[in-house]
Protein backbone atom coordinates (compact mmCIF):
# COMPACT_ATOMS: atom_id res chain seq x y z
CA UNK A 1 0.00 0.00 0.00
CA UNK A 2 1.29 3.46 -0.83
CA UNK A 3 0.29 7.05 -1.40
CA UNK A 4 1.11 7.80 -5.03
CA UNK A 5 3.09 11.02 -5.36
CA UNK A 6 2.35 13.65 -7.98
CA UNK A 7 5.63 12.70 -9.70
CA UNK A 8 4.70 9.01 -9.91
CA UNK A 9 1.21 9.83 -11.19
CA UNK A 10 2.53 12.34 -13.74
CA UNK A 11 4.89 9.66 -15.07
CA UNK A 12 2.26 6.90 -14.98
CA UNK A 13 -0.35 8.98 -16.78
CA UNK A 14 2.03 10.94 -19.04
CA UNK A 15 0.12 9.73 -22.11
CA UNK A 16 -2.92 11.67 -20.78
CA UNK A 17 -0.98 14.86 -19.95
CA UNK A 18 -2.72 17.01 -22.60
CA UNK A 19 -6.22 15.72 -21.89
CA UNK A 20 -8.85 17.66 -19.93
CA UNK A 21 -9.20 14.97 -17.27
CA UNK A 22 -5.47 14.69 -16.44
CA UNK A 23 -5.43 16.87 -13.30
CA UNK A 24 -8.67 15.34 -11.99
CA UNK A 25 -7.27 11.86 -12.55
CA UNK A 26 -4.11 12.68 -10.59
CA UNK A 27 -6.21 14.25 -7.84
CA UNK A 28 -8.42 11.15 -7.60
CA UNK A 29 -5.45 8.78 -7.61
CA UNK A 30 -3.75 10.71 -4.81
CA UNK A 31 -6.90 11.03 -2.67
CA UNK A 32 -6.32 7.75 -0.81
CA UNK A 33 -3.73 4.98 -0.54
CA UNK A 34 -3.45 2.55 -3.45
CA UNK A 35 -2.74 -1.15 -3.23
CA UNK A 36 -0.16 -2.32 -5.75
CA UNK A 37 0.05 -5.93 -6.88
CA UNK A 38 2.62 -7.51 -9.11
CA UNK A 39 1.04 -10.60 -10.66
CA UNK A 40 2.69 -13.23 -12.82
CA UNK A 41 1.53 -16.45 -14.39
CA UNK A 42 0.28 -17.94 -17.62
CA UNK A 43 -1.45 -15.15 -19.59
CA UNK A 44 -1.45 -13.02 -16.42
CA UNK A 45 -2.10 -9.73 -18.22
CA UNK A 46 -4.96 -11.02 -20.39
CA UNK A 47 -6.60 -12.84 -17.48
CA UNK A 48 -6.21 -9.84 -15.15
CA UNK A 49 -7.67 -7.48 -17.76
CA UNK A 50 -10.66 -9.78 -18.18
CA UNK A 51 -11.14 -9.92 -14.40
CA UNK A 52 -10.95 -6.10 -14.24
CA UNK A 53 -13.56 -5.55 -16.96
CA UNK A 54 -14.00 -2.73 -19.48
CA UNK A 55 -12.30 0.58 -18.63
CA UNK A 56 -15.67 2.33 -18.72
CA UNK A 57 -17.21 0.65 -15.70
CA UNK A 58 -20.73 1.19 -17.04
CA UNK A 59 -19.78 -1.09 -19.95
CA UNK A 60 -18.04 -3.71 -17.80
CA UNK A 61 -19.60 -7.15 -17.50
CA UNK A 62 -21.22 -8.16 -14.24
CA UNK A 63 -18.84 -10.37 -12.33
CA UNK A 64 -15.82 -8.27 -13.28
CA UNK A 65 -14.25 -5.97 -10.68
CA UNK A 66 -15.41 -2.83 -12.49
CA UNK A 67 -18.78 -4.34 -13.35
CA UNK A 68 -19.49 -5.12 -9.71
CA UNK A 69 -17.78 -2.25 -7.87
CA UNK A 70 -17.52 0.81 -10.13
CA UNK A 71 -19.55 3.27 -12.20
CA UNK A 72 -16.91 5.64 -13.58
CA UNK A 73 -14.23 5.74 -16.24
CA UNK A 74 -11.92 8.29 -14.65
CA UNK A 75 -12.55 7.42 -10.98
CA UNK A 76 -11.27 3.97 -11.78
CA UNK A 77 -11.20 1.23 -9.16
CA UNK A 78 -8.45 -0.84 -10.82
CA UNK A 79 -5.57 -0.56 -13.25
CA UNK A 80 -4.10 -3.47 -15.20
CA UNK A 81 -1.07 -3.20 -17.46
CA UNK A 82 -1.86 -3.50 -21.15
CA UNK A 83 1.35 -5.28 -22.17
CA UNK A 84 4.47 -6.92 -20.78
CA UNK A 85 6.41 -3.79 -21.74
CA UNK A 86 4.17 -1.48 -19.71
CA UNK A 87 4.09 -4.01 -16.86
CA UNK A 88 7.89 -3.87 -16.62
CA UNK A 89 7.80 -0.04 -16.64
CA UNK A 90 5.11 -0.02 -13.95
CA UNK A 91 7.01 -2.57 -11.85
CA UNK A 92 9.96 -0.17 -11.62
CA UNK A 93 7.65 2.79 -11.01
CA UNK A 94 5.64 1.27 -8.16
CA UNK A 95 7.98 -1.25 -6.50
CA UNK A 96 11.41 -1.10 -4.91
CA UNK A 97 13.70 -4.03 -5.64
CA UNK A 98 13.51 -5.35 -2.08
CA UNK A 99 9.70 -5.51 -2.32
CA UNK A 100 9.73 -8.17 -5.05
CA UNK A 101 10.16 -11.81 -4.09
CA UNK A 102 10.64 -14.95 -6.16
CA UNK A 103 8.53 -17.66 -4.58
CA UNK A 104 6.42 -20.68 -5.45
CA UNK A 105 2.74 -20.66 -4.50
CA UNK A 106 1.44 -23.87 -2.96
CA UNK A 107 -1.64 -23.43 -5.18
CA UNK A 108 0.33 -23.73 -8.45
CA UNK A 109 -0.26 -27.49 -8.91
CA UNK A 110 -4.00 -26.79 -8.74
CA UNK A 111 -3.92 -23.76 -11.05
CA UNK A 112 -1.86 -25.02 -13.98
CA UNK A 113 -1.33 -28.32 -15.76
CA UNK A 114 2.34 -29.26 -16.18
CA UNK A 115 2.29 -28.42 -19.89
CA UNK A 116 0.91 -24.91 -19.21
CA UNK A 117 3.76 -23.79 -16.97
CA UNK A 118 6.38 -21.61 -18.58
pTM of this prediction?
0.85
- Considering the domain delimited by 39-98, tell me its CATH architecture: 2-Layer Sandwich (3.30)
Helix (H, G, I), strand (E, B), or coil: what is residue 2?
Answer: strand
Pick the more confident residue, 10 or 110. 10
Query: Taking phi first (over 0 means left), then psi (-120 to 50 degrees means alpha), and beta for anything else, what does residue 31 get?
Result: alpha
- Distance, CA of 35 to CA of 27 (rounded, Å): 16
pLDDT one-digit tens code per residue, 5-25? 999 999 999 999 999 999 999
The pLDDT score that the predictor gives to residue 79 is: 94
Q: Are 16 and 50 in contact (CB under 8 A)?
A: no
For residue 50, give Cα distances in angstroms to 16, 54, 102.
23, 8, 25
- Across the chain, mean pLDDT equals 94
Q: How confident is the model at residue 116 (pLDDT cuts 50, 70, 90)?
A: confident
Please determine, for residue 118, whether its predicted confidence score (pLDDT) is greater than 70.
Answer: no
Residues with catalytic roles: 79
- Distance, CA of 55 to CA of 104 (rounded, Å): 31
- Ranges for all domains in the chain classified under CATH 3.30.70.141: 39-98
Amino acid sequence: MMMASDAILAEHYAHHRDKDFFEGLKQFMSSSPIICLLVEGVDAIAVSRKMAGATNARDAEFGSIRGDFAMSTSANIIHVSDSEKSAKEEEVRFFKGDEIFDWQSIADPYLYAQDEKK
